[in-house]
Amino acid sequence: MPITVPAYGKEAAGRLASMADVTADDGALRRFLHGLPGVDAVGLEARAATLGTRSIKTTAKAYAIDLSISMIDLTTLEGADTQGKVRALCAKGSNPDPTDRTAPKVAAICVYPDMVATAKEALRNGGAPEIHVASVATAFPAGRAALPVKLADTRDAVAAGADEIDMVIDRGAFLSGRYMAVFEEIKAVKEACARPDGSAAHLKVIFETGELQTYDNVRRVSWLAMLAGADFIKTSTGKVAVNATPPVTLLMLEAVRDFHAATGVQVGVKPAGGIRTTKDALKYLVMVNETLGEPWLTADWFRFGASSLLNDLLMQRQKLSTGRYSGPDYVTVD
Amino acid sequence: MTFDYAPAPESRAVVDIAPSYGLFIDGEFAPASDGKVFKTVSPSSEESLSEVAQASAEDVDRAVKAARKAFEKWSALPGAERAKYLFRIARIIQERSRELAVLESLDNGKPIRESRDADLPLVAAHFFYYAGWADKLDHAGYGPNPRPLGVAGQVIPWNFPLLMLAWKIAPALATGNTVVLKPAETTPLSALFFADICRQAGLPKGVVNILTGDGSTGAALVGHPDINKVAFTGSTEVGKAIARTVAGTDKRVTLELGGKAANIVFDDAPIDQAVEGIVNGIFFNQGHVCCAGSRLLVQESVQDELLEALKRRMRTLRVGDPLDKNTDVGAINSAEQLARITALADAGEAEGAERWAPDCELPGSGYWFAPTLFTGVTQAHRIAREEIFGPVLSVLTFRTPAEAVEKANNTPYGLSAGIWTEKGSRMLWMASKLRAGVIWSNTFNKFDPASPFGGYKESGFGREGGRHGLEAYLNV
Amino acid sequence: MSDRLSVLKTYKLYVGGKFPRSESGRVYEVTDSKDRWLANAPLASRKDARDAVVAARKAFGGWSGATAYNRGQILYRVAEMLEGRRDQFVAEVADAEGCSKAKAAAQVDAAIDRWVWYAGWSDKVAQIAGGANPVAGPYFNMSAPEPTGVVAVLAPQESSFLGLVSVVAPAIVTGNTVVVVAAQDAPLPALSLAEVLATSDLPGGVVNLLSGRTAELGAPLAAHQDVNAIDLAGADAGLAKDLETAAADNLKRVLRPGAVDWSAAPGTERLLSFLETKTVWHPMGV
């Protein structure tokens, strides 16, 4: 197996170049993606369900809860967002449980591009500059804009200080079989993530798996995005009827595992939307643990796109430390 | 810090095991006529769980008489009334399922995840299904008003104690027979708890009789002149002995015996799911499954990829305390069985196959065997021919579908087979060529009360489950 | 005798798992055989029928997609819940039909057992109505029954409870959803059955119950383009002809009325009436 390199590192580009033959043209890419092993839906769902029966208790639960908190991309993506709302969210992410300073900080604050500067400033002023600011971009959530608009959207967010960009793919192009168009668009956005100093914002690629419908499509798009240079692959925008599900996430974890085995490039995974309870979060961590293992059990390589999940984790955390069940009045609402 | 799952034991407090149990005959518990008893131990700890009676030939006779006496009224009952008894039993099993799951894991050694999520739901479903047939026998395709056989002598194995009881008792009772059932020597407890469920359901006395004991009890039951039907699940060797015993009598027989199933993986298979299916096929219930996919036939073009994925997956199997909710592979059921598995695995090595097992720490007491894989196996190896009945997988290869069929069928057994391919026409072609009673495609070890189960060739005859399962208990 | 004044029940329709009054605001007086007032039942309208069809259609996907085992368990649960309210139904049936308590009890017991009978059919009907077909060629060929869809049921007039159960259970056990018009002059046992159904894990909308004039409700149901079948058990000969004629417009499956002894063993006729047979071909070859 090749030596592991992070997707966002300089070496990764070289590894991807070794796969250049499969992305040489539309036909080659299509043959490669359609040559991937099929996914049996029933079997995949059964495996995800079985992993969901793992029982995480006591010390393991305490560990997993703190790990989950540290993996959250605390998100607000509403038309009604204001600077005040974003500042409050930053405060919450920096200090999730005011009654217990040992609670870890979240991984990132996820906002629309026009709120990036506000979030950066709030985190800096709040003494938590290590929390990343992630910005959705590329005409999120539908992605229905011309490429130059999407790239401008991306550059704008990066210029405002975004550490991470969550782009959406063109699902229409993917579903109509124009894989190369999707591939080229991801590559272009990745380039737009570059900063003048030579560093770059990390790129998460959102598939909107609820719209892609089939598991075969999810496996194909996972490979497509990783071949195009995605640092993270992400399930959903949270804006459609079906968002992250355990089987879809498991399948993406398997794709990341196989891509890593083939290229040595480590790619992260972010399920987003619909993950609201500690129980849910723990099921996802179990899937990561038993599919990818220890190297992925960090906020660098696994994230939860969520908002209400945080308070449930905090209530469970309080339960573990006090022995009694907490209630929504004992966590802050921001 | 790593993400190690802390112990998550299921509570033992949910089940109350008495220090000793008698035989359940004519609705009452009674000691054996000669007072003999034996201990049943937990295979994961070697702890003695209880003492049960060793039924003698005299006890067998008493139980058969009780069943004979009960038969008259039970068989004359309207089907709708028999149905309601069976529905009651199904519901009580559902209500008491956690207790029974813990009991099963204690006495058998199987992981609680399986006894809780597989065995017990299937047990309840089986009673529910056959309850529904009791008043519909006229519609079952066996002509109008098909009649029961009489008293059924039933002998079941230790691998799925309560599930095999359900497979035997539910169709027998639904069709109007009465039964004398002998659970396996090493796993008698859940059958004795089932006797209590019969009491709660108000089942008439003598309809179900439970005799604990060893092989001699089973032989006495099978040989009893006043039983009309023998139903046996267990080894092919004992099955043949039973077939000889009943020769020349009017006794009807169904036998569900051993297997050496081929699990066939083509190069276009959904690989991740195939790996799960292989794991489930051979490591489910520690491989103590007659239809286990114990021979993996993999197409040579995908062999390396598949085996690497399989080994990776096997490294994540959690072997240990059956009552821990996170255990995937539990204890081997007995010292005797462990010795047999060990001997066959050693033979595999001696005959030149390559042995591999993941690093896994096995508990100090109890009977354990790590999940094991043999590569470089040929049809000539003992581990490719003999049923190991343990967590040991023999890997063979093939090049073409015809070769896969030839190898898969090259066994005296014919219970089950698996086919992994994304191509439907090939799957169906394979299924039509395989000489086995159950064919799973892109899945394995699936059971349902509506689906008939049983073997070709030396895997036995007769079917259990589904509409077909009624035939074994009807005079048709 | 106690001075306590009893609390009377307001009888309502049962549509989509909820208990609405008729949108028309109408009620009609229901009396016992001696013409004593029992209750005011909703006099459902065409619009109530329309709403009920919408609810039944909405429930069809989930109910027909549930496993047969699950449907069987739910029908059995109905029997369990009914057994617990046996006395209530005995009293209602005795009032509705003017029969003795003993005769009413026999009907209620038979109705409970009928739920059990049909519960057992859920995972067996395909085994008697479907199967492998040995076609002359290299094909796998299998037929299996599937539910027809939304079934309008005009419940029998002469048997307000046993008759009702005998027409509802066979339609739903196979996965159909139903809009039922209760016996016109004796709708109360049917409306009370809704309370049992609502507490038996039966998804809302699988059974929708309307009380009112059979002819008034039958007409829009028979003509409705989103109803797939109609059971005319509760229609007289003249009405049945009209409704069957209307039903022809979208080729509804029609079960004609006939003399039925509702206390006799039901057989499989009703069970098999609202099924479509689907046959699947697939080549077999390497």
pLDDT tens-place string over residues B296-308: 999 999 999 999 9
**pLDDT at residue C73, as a whole number:** 98
Q: Do chains B and A touch (3 or more CB pairs under 8 A)?
A: yes
Kindly state the average pLDDT of the residues B458-468. Answer: 98
Is there a domain that residue C216 lies in?
A: yes
- A65 lies within 8 A of chain B by CB: no
Q: How far is A39 from chain B (nearest CA, A)?
A: 5
**pLDDT-derived band at B217, boundaries 50, 70, 90:** very high
C2 in a structural domain: no
Mark whether B422 is an active-site residue. no
Both tokens assigned to B385: 């021919």
How far apart CA C49 and CA C42 sit, in angstroms, is 12
Contacts B428 to C, Cβ<8 Å? 140, 282-284
The closest CB to that of B80, out of C72, C113, C121, belongs to C113
What tokens were used for B419? 């086919």
B117: distance to nearest CA of chain A, Å? Answer: 10
CB contact under 8 A, B442 and A40: yes
B-chain residues within 8 Å CB-CB of A59?
A: 6
Closest CB from B2, B113, B270 relative to A294: B2
Chains C and A touch (3+ CB pairs under 8 A): no
Q: Is A102 near chain B, with CB under 8 Å? A: no
Residue C3 scores a pLDDT above 80 = yes
Q: Tell me: the pLDDT tens digits for A148-206? A: 999 999 999 999 999 999 999 999 999 999 999 999 999 999 999 999 999 999 999 99
For the segment C55-72, the average pLDDT, to the nearest whole number, is 98
pLDDT-based confidence at C92, cuts 50/70/90? very high
B256 catalytic? Reply is: yes
Query: Measured between alpha carbons, how far is residue B179 from residues A238, B30, B68 in Å?
Result: 58, 17, 9
Residues of A annotated as catalytic (active site), given as ranges? 166, 234, 270
> What tens digit of pLDDT does each residue of B360-400 get?
999 999 999 999 999 999 999 999 999 999 999 999 999 99
Contact between chains at B80 and C116 (C-beta distance less than 8 A): yes
Average pLDDT, chain B: 97
pLDDT at B228 over 70: yes
Interface test with chain C among B85, B87, B89, by most C beta carbons within 10 Å? B87
Bridge-partner residues for B296, per DSSP? B263, B395
Decide if C6 is inside a domain: no
- Average pLDDT, integer, range C258-273: 95
Domain A5-324: CATH superfamily, name plus number: Aldolase class I (3.20.20.70)
Could you tell me the residue ranges of all domains in chain B? 12-257+457-471, 262-441
pLDDT (mean) for A208-227 = 98
Mean pLDDT of chain C: 97
Q: How confident is the model at residue B1 (pLDDT cuts 50, 70, 90)?
A: low
The CATH number that applies at residue C87 is: 3.40.605.10
* Long-range own/partner contacts, residues C235-242 (CB < 8 A, 24 or more apart): C235/C154, C239/C214, C239/C215
Q: Name the percent of chain B lying above pLDDT 70.
A: 100
Domain count of the fold of chain C: 1
The Cα–Cα gap between A178 and A25 comes to 11
In chain B, residues with a C-beta closer than 8 Å to the C-beta of A285 are 3
- List the single residue in C123, C140, C268 with the smallest CB-CB distance to B129: C123
Contact check, Cβ <8 Å, B276/A46: yes
- Contact residues on chain B for C121, CB-CB shorter than 8 A: 132, 136
| Whole-Å CA distances, A276 to A62, A311, C70 | 18, 9, 28
Q: How many Å apart are CA A301 and CA A298, to the nearest integer?
A: 6
- Determine the residue type at B349: E
Q: Do chains B and C touch (3 or more CB pairs under 8 A)?
A: yes
* CB-defined contacts B:C, below 8 A: 72
pLDDT in tens, C104-163: 999 999 999 999 999 999 999 999 999 999 999 999 999 999 999 999 999 999 999 999
ipTM over cut 0.85: yes
**Residue A146: Cβ-neighbour burial (10 angstroms; 0-12, 13-18, 19+):** exposed
- Taking contacts as CB-CB distances below 8 angstroms, the residues of chain A near B113 are 53
Domain boundaries, given as residue ranges, for chain A: 5-324
User: Does the pLDDT of residue A214 top 90, yes or no?
Assistant: yes
- Closest residue in B to A38 (Cα–Cα): B270
**Which member of A37, A63, A289 has the closest CB to residue B270?**
A37
Which residues of chain C are within 8 Å of residue B132 when distances are taken between CB atoms? Answer: 72, 119-124
pLDDT(B264) > 60: yes
Report the pLDDT averaged over residues C233-254: 98
Predicted local distance difference test score (pLDDT) of residue A1: 73
Q: What is the pLDDT of residue B134?
A: 98
Q: Which H or E element spans position A283?
A: helix A278-291
Give CA–CA dist B456/B414, Å, rounded. 5
Residue pair C247/C147 in contact (Cβ under 8 Å)? The answer is no
Q: Is C3 within a domain?
A: no
Mind listing the pLDDT tens digit for each residue in B124-139? 999 999 999 999 999 9
Q: What is the mean predicted confidence (pLDDT) over C211-235?
A: 98
* Cβ count within 10 A of residue C133: 13
Highest mean pLDDT among A11-20, C1-10, C47-56: C47-56
| For residue A334, pLDDT beyond 80 | no
User: What local confidence, expressed as pLDDT, does residue B459 receive?
Assistant: 98
Is the domain defined by B12-257+457-471 classed in CATH 3.40.605.10? yes
Q: Please tell me the distance in Å from B245's CA to the nearest CA on chain C.
A: 35
User: B84 to chain C: which residues are within 8 Å by CB?
Assistant: 113, 116
Give the range of the structural domain holding residue C267, as residue numbers without chain letter.
27-283
Partner-chain contact B425 C282, CB within 8 Å? yes
Across the range B63-78, mean pLDDT stands at: 98
Which one of B104, B185, B256, B458 is the catalytic residue? B256
Give chain C positions within 8 Å (CB) of B466.
127
pLDDT of residue B400: 98
pLDDT reported for residue B2: 82
Subunits close to B (at least 3 CB pairs below 8 A): A, C
B132–C124 CB contact, under 8 Å: yes
Distance of CA B455 to the CA centre of its chain: 13
Distance from the B325 Cα atom to the nearest Cα atom in chain A, whole angstroms: 6
Query: Which DSSP helix (H) or strand (E) runs through C140?
Result: strand C139-147
pLDDT bin (cut points 50, 70, 90) of residue A215 is very high
**Structural tokens at position B24:** 């359940």
What pTM did the predictor assign?
0.97
Considering the domain boundaries, does residue C19 fall inside one?
Answer: no
Q: Do A56 and B422 touch (CB under 8 A)?
A: no
Q: Is residue C46 part of a domain?
A: yes
- Nearest CA of chain B to the CA of C177: how many Å? 22
Q: Which fold has domain B262-441?
A: Aldehyde Dehydrogenase; Chain A, domain 2 (3.40.309)
pLDDT band at C1 (very low <50, low <70, confident <90, very high): low
